[in-house]
């Protein structure tokens, strides 16, 4: 049997973008992924389908598995020839007990590697606008455990040395011992007015920062009910926060935004919203799938030379149409001589990506504007590959103008099998700020995900952002009022409209 190998991986401080490329590579190939409480669950999506996923988290003193059993678990799996990705929050060798695990692995004569991660002490401070070193303040920094038992007869922390000998002190996991730790610093010579920052859930959209001084931060934390997990930064550099803070100044910071797009298309929208600081909850209400039968589109492809125009109303229409071309051993050369209309910049971009030139793109998705842009269409043959369920206005108007229209089903939108427990709880707790709808299907399917009347009730207490008038009107048909709608009906414009809405709200306060 081949020998297994263990990768001790630093999963970073929380922001999914702060994991290393090497870490992702090892998660992708691992047979077993063993992860901690502070490791972002998003990283589990990189694991291969047949990988064994094991949670061994520790939270507030509650251990899923004691450390000894975690070590045994890793070694047993490796002895069976498995590749183990041991995901640890932050960096495995900075208060991550990675050294202990590595010693046990070596004792068992098993190969291992350490993949360092961005530690919370560095990252959380940076996201709070606090540089740990600065030539005007200090050139020394120390990382210290914050949860050493204050009742111990003899401390492992040299308080007399660190209190005055180190410029910036970063305490890990020290909220429970905040008051005794600050007293120790004062007792050993630290100036009581030294600035202090507590940073909770650093680098995530739930980040909270509380600033005080060595003498008053414990009382401030008590009044604010400030809880773990958090780090404590002590030093003059904390005074730079007001000038250098950037993360929690983003326009959507702290706002929970629900994205209802199909999972495979949600990432672009989610990334835009995250860039603005939003806490994005992906709750896909549609799934894009192929037609039940390909008969219609196959017939259209066989007689492509007869068409004068092909109108693509979505990225999905382009994708499924070109995939079907390939399936029939054809390619884009079959579209030679056919004029191409793209409804929207994303669709245009998708068409151009496959090597076709777009002849016309309307300024907005209105039947009148589209028809006007097509020019003389009487007796012209028009191909319209689209979703199985779609509004009939465009083909009807084309036919009224004398065009011969073949509407063919290129794809279907179906309701995915989503678990609703988590998002239902968020709505009940009033923790959702915005729900976004990018098509009529997302509206109808969202409501169908819940019990009758429940979805509408949830949406009464949140802001609704619709991509355009068609989606807005669909929502209105369910007594759902749209508060945010962009002038340009695109995903980037919708993200911008959400930002502008909250900016205006802040100005009016």
Residue 341 and residue 309 in contact, taking contact as beta carbons nearer than 8 Å: yes
Read off the pLDDT of residues 413-450 as tens digits, 9 standing for 90 and up. 888 877 788 899 999 999 999 999 998 889 999 999 99
pLDDT of residue 447: 94
Over residues 321-332, mean pLDDT? 91
Cα distances from 10 to residues 5, 87, 92, 153, in angstroms, run 16, 6, 5, 34
Predicted confidence (pLDDT) at residue 60 exceeds the cutoff of 60 = no
Read off the pLDDT of residues 364-376 as tens digits, 9 standing for 90 and up. 766 667 888 888 8
Q: Write out the catalytic residue numbers.
A: 36, 58, 173
**What is the CA 179 to chain-centroid distance, rounded?**
36
Which segment, 100-114, 150-164, 264-278, is predicted with the most confidence on average?
Answer: 100-114
- Domains, the chain, in order of start with CATH, read 5-117 (3.40.1010.10), 122-249 (3.30.950.10), 256-286+417-508 (3.40.50.10090), 289-414 (3.40.50.10090)
Predicted confidence (pLDDT) at residue 499 exceeds the cutoff of 70 = yes
Predicted confidence (pLDDT) at residue 259 exceeds the cutoff of 90 = yes
**DSSP category for residue 12:** B
- Kindly list the strands in the beta sheet with 195-200, ordered across the sheet, starting from the edge strand earlier in the chain: 141-145, 168-172, 230-234, 195-200, 208-213
pLDDT of residue 367: 66
Lowest-pLDDT range of 39-48, 174-183, 431-440: 39-48
Pairing of strands 434-437, 256-259: parallel
pLDDT of residue 413: 83
Residue 143 and residue 257 in contact, taking contact as beta carbons nearer than 8 Å: no
Predicted confidence (pLDDT) at residue 54 exceeds the cutoff of 70 = yes
Instruction: Specify whether the backbone of 81 is left (phi greater than 0), alpha (psi in -120 to 50) or beta.
Output: left
pLDDT of residue 158: 94
Over residues 355-381, mean pLDDT? 84
Strands (E), 268-417: 279-282, 287-289, 309-312, 339-342, 381-387, 404-414
Q: Which helix (H) or strand (E) holds 468?
A: none
Distance, CA of 50 to CA of 469 (rounded, Å): 44
The share of the chain scoring above pLDDT 90, in percent, equals 71
Predicted confidence (pLDDT) at residue 506 exceeds the cutoff of 70 = no
Read off the pLDDT of residues 74-90 as tens digits, 9 standing for 90 and up. 999 999 999 999 999 99
Confidence of residue 1 (pLDDT cuts 50, 70, 90): low
Mean of all residue pLDDT scores within the chain: 91
Nearest CA among 186, 191, 139, 202 for reference residue 166: 139
Rounded to two decimals, the pTM is 0.80
pLDDT of residue 365: 66
Confidence of residue 195 (pLDDT cuts 50, 70, 90): very high
């Amino acid at each position: 049997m081949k020998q297994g190998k263990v990768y001790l991986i630093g999963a970073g401080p929380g922001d999914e973008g702060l994991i290393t490329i090497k870490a992702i590579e090892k998660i992708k190939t691992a047979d077993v992924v063993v992860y901690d409480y502070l490791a972002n669950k998003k990283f589990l999506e990189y694991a291969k389908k047949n990988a064994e996923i094991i949670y061994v988290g520790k939270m507030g003193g509650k251990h899923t598995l004691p450390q000894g059993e975690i070590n045994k678990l890793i070694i047993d799996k490796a002895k069976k020839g498995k590749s183990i990705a041991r995901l640890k929050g932050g960096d495995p060798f900075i208060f991550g007990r990675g050294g202990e695990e590595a010693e046990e692995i070596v004792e068992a004569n098993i190969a291992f590697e350490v993949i360092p991660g961005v530690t919370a002490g560095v990252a959380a401070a940076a996201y709070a606008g606090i540089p740990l070193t600065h030539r005007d303040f200090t050139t020394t920094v120390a990382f210290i455990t914050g949860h050493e038992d204050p009742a111990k007869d003899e401390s492992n922390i040299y308080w007399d040395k660190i209190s005055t000998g180190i410029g910036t002190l970063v305490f890990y996991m020290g909220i429970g011992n905040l008051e005794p730790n600050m007293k120790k610093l004062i007792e050993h010579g630290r100036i009581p007015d030294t600035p202090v920052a507590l940073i909770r859930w650093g680098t995530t959209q739930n980040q909270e920062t509380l600033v005080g001084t060595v003498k008053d931060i414990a009382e401030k934390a008590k009044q604010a009910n400030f809880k773990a997990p958090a780090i404590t930064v002590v030093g003059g550099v904390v005074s730079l926060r007001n000038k250098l803070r950037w993360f929690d100044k983003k326009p959507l910071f702290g706002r929970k935004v629900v994205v209802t797009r199909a999972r495979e298309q949600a990432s672009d929208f989610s990334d835009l919203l995250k860039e603005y600081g939003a806490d994005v909850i992906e709750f896909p209400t549609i799934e894009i799938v192929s037609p039940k039968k390909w008969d219609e589109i196959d017939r259209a492809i066989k007689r492509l030379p007869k068409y004068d125009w092909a109108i693509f109303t979505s990225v999905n229409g382009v994708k499924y149409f070109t995939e079907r071309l390939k399936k029939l051993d054809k390619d884009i050369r079959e579209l030679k001589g056919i004029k191409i209309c793209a409804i929207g910049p994303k669709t245009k971009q998708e068409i151009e990506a496959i090597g076709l030139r777009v002849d016309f793109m309307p300024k907005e998705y209105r039947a009148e504007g589209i028809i006007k842009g097509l020019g003389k269409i009487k007796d012209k043959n028009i191909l319209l590959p689209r979703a199985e369920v779609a509004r009939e206005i465009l083909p009807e108007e084309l036919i009224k103008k004398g065009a011969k229209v073949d509407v063919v089903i290129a794809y279907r939108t179906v309701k995915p099998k989503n678990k609703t427990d988590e998002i239902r709880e968020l709505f009940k707790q009033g923790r959702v700020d915005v729900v976004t709808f990018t098509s009529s299907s997302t509206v109808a399917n969202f409501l169908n995900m819940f019990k009758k009347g429940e979805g509408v009730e949830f949406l009464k207490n949140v802001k609704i952002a619709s991509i355009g008038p068609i989606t807005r009107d669909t929502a209105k048909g369910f007594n759902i009022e749209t508060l945010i709608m962009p002038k340009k009906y695109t995903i980037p414009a919708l993200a911008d409209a959400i930002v502008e809405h909250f900016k205006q709200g802040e100005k009016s306060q």
